[in-house]
Structure 1
Amino acid sequence: MPELLTLGPWLRRFLCEHIVTERNLARNTGKSYRDTFSLLLPFISGKLRKPVDRLAVRDLTSRHVLQFLAHLEEERGCSARTRNQRLAAIRAFARFVASRDPAHVEWCGHIRAIAPKKSMPQPVGWLARAEMEAMLAVPDRKTARGRSEYALLLFLYNTGARVSEATQLKVGDLQIGRGNGGHDLAALHGKGGRTRQCPLWPETERVLASEIMGRAAEDAVFVSRLGKPFTRFGVYRLIERCAARVPELAGRTITPHIIRHTTACHLVLAGVDINTVRAWLGHVSISTTNIYAEIDLTLKARAVALCEIGQSKPGRSWKEDKDLMAFLKSL
């Protein structure tokens, strides 16, 4: 089969060259695209009873893509947002192929005609201050492992960092122990290669200084009991374990992103400007941060009180305002 018709070479160029060199997309985006085709190709291979390495570009039909998307939702239990994310990767690949080979323009049109499914935004889940403090009290700080777990939880709450930002944090990213009145800072490497600096509380600075003592600048800040850098799954398990020991959180699913939401919500409730919260969390658009304006009924009640209509006072008719009429006639 000619190389221009085989799916493999196109996919290799798309994943290794196009999204990395030409578009400079984030590494996590590349992994998401890779995972999409790791699921899609075996699915189509099974449908056509054809080896994966023999699949052609035109085997990726719109009908098969729709079947794959239905498979994600019905059999794998994925949400509409996950479905749309997988579809976005497939459409990006179709656009790439059509831009290089005009013979595939019609095929690309059929793929790109598949519409994303409308998904309803989930309500923001977050913890009250007492619940967050109860989680922070779970690790046994009398042990080295407990102190490490406490440092990680406190850092997530202080900075609102994404789990990937916390696991990738290096000792050299911390500016602590200045002792000259300056702010202690952590440099977080977020989505799209963007870096932001987040101030640290004195308590966070104290536990982190103890945690990184004697380590090199390239070492990870947060390490597991085996001395290896924490993985995202390790952080998830830690938070699940701590939440399970808080009676008030029984029956709730607590994730690292819930703690990120908690940081944002507590900042909003403290009266911090929403644009400052956006910079704190590393959002590109303020519209992403605006979801936190819906978090608390007290904020809504306060807004209603500011806009409440009082008793209207009887005013004079404009005809009775002799000074005004005299002024107008003088012009």
Structure 2
Amino acid sequence: MHDLVTLGPWLRRFLSEHIVTERNLARNTRSSYRDTFSLLLPFISRKLRKPVDRLAVRDLSTQHVLQFLAHLEEDRGCSARTRNQRLAAIRAFARFIGSRDPAHIEWCGHIRAIASKKSMQQPVGWLARPEMEAMLAVPDRKTPRGRDEYALLLFLYNTGARVSEATQLKVRDLQLEHGNRGHDLVTLHGKGGKTRQCPLWPETKAVLAQRVLGRAAENAVFVSRLGTPFTRFGVYRLIERCAARVPALAGRTITPHVIRHTTACHLVLAGVDINTVRAWLGHVSISTTNIYAEIDITLKAQAVALCEVGQPQLGRSWKNDKDLMAFLKSL
């Protein structure tokens, strides 16, 4: 009975069993949930002046959760999106307890009733083609380190891969020896255990083939100057350093996700349909990809021109289209 009241055993089951085995959540999601409670429990412990290991489930009250969310925004400087992300983890934990112990159903309902905070959709940051080409020109390709950095930047631009997908890429995930018989491909392991394949440009294939020559299938594709696999922090630092060397990007924050947006935007501007872009980026819902349909004023101007008042209508009326009428009558 004591274990049903104490917070610790519930949290241990939630983090080590439920989200791993039952939900099979992505590694980054599990880390986010862990970080949420690493911040939340000490916060409540200080409020109640009670050791963390003695906290009860009901100590995680609505009032304390709201105070914690306010602390994230006001004291830690987190955005509304981060606040909502932490709240989602707390709600999932409450749902886990409420579904297994009827005595906590009321408490669960109160926690899950805490509303998410509305956040403004940030405009998509991306690079024009000359800016992206300037970024690619920064690494010194006369040195081994410069060639490694160039290969990583080119790969991110080619595939629109997430940072985790690039850092976890193994040599076995590359299919580079197809020549004229097929496409050179890379298999990316994305969020939620999903995989997708992306074609590689000949230039990308050439530089990657040089980088992985002689490596075992289980080795990482992208390695740092120390010979260890690139980390998320290492990729961020690389892109920051390259962006700082491009005068046109002065004052702008360039991250790996900006490179991912750049890939999507350039695909849209090249006339690739939005569903293909969705599959390219590994989005589950096309609604996530629709933000790229509004990226460029040129596309909007073209759309306005199609419905401009006073413009002559092109094409024949369907009534005069004999081929169409014959087709309809044949059905």
TM range (shorter): over 0.9
SS at match of 1:4: helix
Q: Which residue of 2 aligns with 1:281?
A: 281
Q: How many angstroms apart in 1 are the aligned matches of 2:99 and 2:268?
A: 46
Deviation at 1:55, TM superposition (A): 0.7
Q: Which residue of 2 aligns with 1:271?
A: 271
Q: Which residue of 2 aligns with 1:200?
A: 200
Q: How does 1:14-29 map to 2 (within 5 A)?
A: 14-29=14-29
Q: How many angstroms apart in 2 are the aligned matches of 1:311 and 1:289?
A: 32
Please, what TM-score do these two structures have when normalized by structure 1?
0.93
Name whichever of 15-24 and 57-66 sits farther off: 15-24
Work out the number of aligned pairs and report it.
313
Q: Which residue of 2 aligns with 1:5?
A: 5
Deviation at 1:179, TM superposition (A): 2.1
Deviation at 1:180, TM superposition (A): 3.6
Q: How many angstroms apart in 2 are the aligned matches of 1:6 and 1:89?
A: 19
Conservation of the 8 A alpha-carbon contact between 1:177 and 1:209 = no
Structure 2, gaps ≥5 residues long = 314-331
Conservation of the 8 A alpha-carbon contact between 1:177 and 1:205 = no
Query: Does 2:300 align with 1:300?
Result: yes
Q: How does 1:217-232 map to 2 (within 5 A)?
A: 217-232=217-232
CA RMSD in angstroms comes to: 1.2
Q: How many angstroms apart in 1 are the aligned matches of 2:291 and 2:152?
A: 26
Please, what TM-score do these two structures have when normalized by structure 2?
0.93
Q: How many angstroms apart in 1 are the aligned matches of 2:245 and 2:311?
A: 53
Q: 2:114 corresponds to which letter in structure 1?
A: I
Q: How many angstroms apart in 2 are the aligned matches of 1:247 and 1:241?
A: 12
Return closer, same or farther for 1:87/1:213 CA change in 2, 3 Å cut-off: same
Return closer, same or farther for 1:226/1:312 CA change in 2, 3 Å cut-off: closer
Q: How does 1:124-203 map to 2 (within 5 A)?
A: 124-203=124-203
Return closer, same or farther for 1:154/1:4 CA change in 2, 3 Å cut-off: same
Show CA shifts across 1:211-265 (max 9, x none).
Answer: 0011000000000000000000100000000000000000000000000000000
- Greater CA radius of gyration, 1 or 2? 1
Q: Percent identity?
A: 87
Q: 2:184 corresponds to which letter in structure 1?
A: D
Q: Which residue of 1 aligns with 2:48?
A: 48
Return closer, same or farther for 1:312/1:236 CA change in 2, 3 Å cut-off: closer
Structure 1, gaps ≥5 residues long = 314-331
Conservation of the 8 A alpha-carbon contact between 1:183 and 1:199 = yes
SS at match of 1:73: helix
Query: Does 2:77 align with 1:72?
Result: no
Q: Which residue of 2 aligns with 1:257?
A: 257
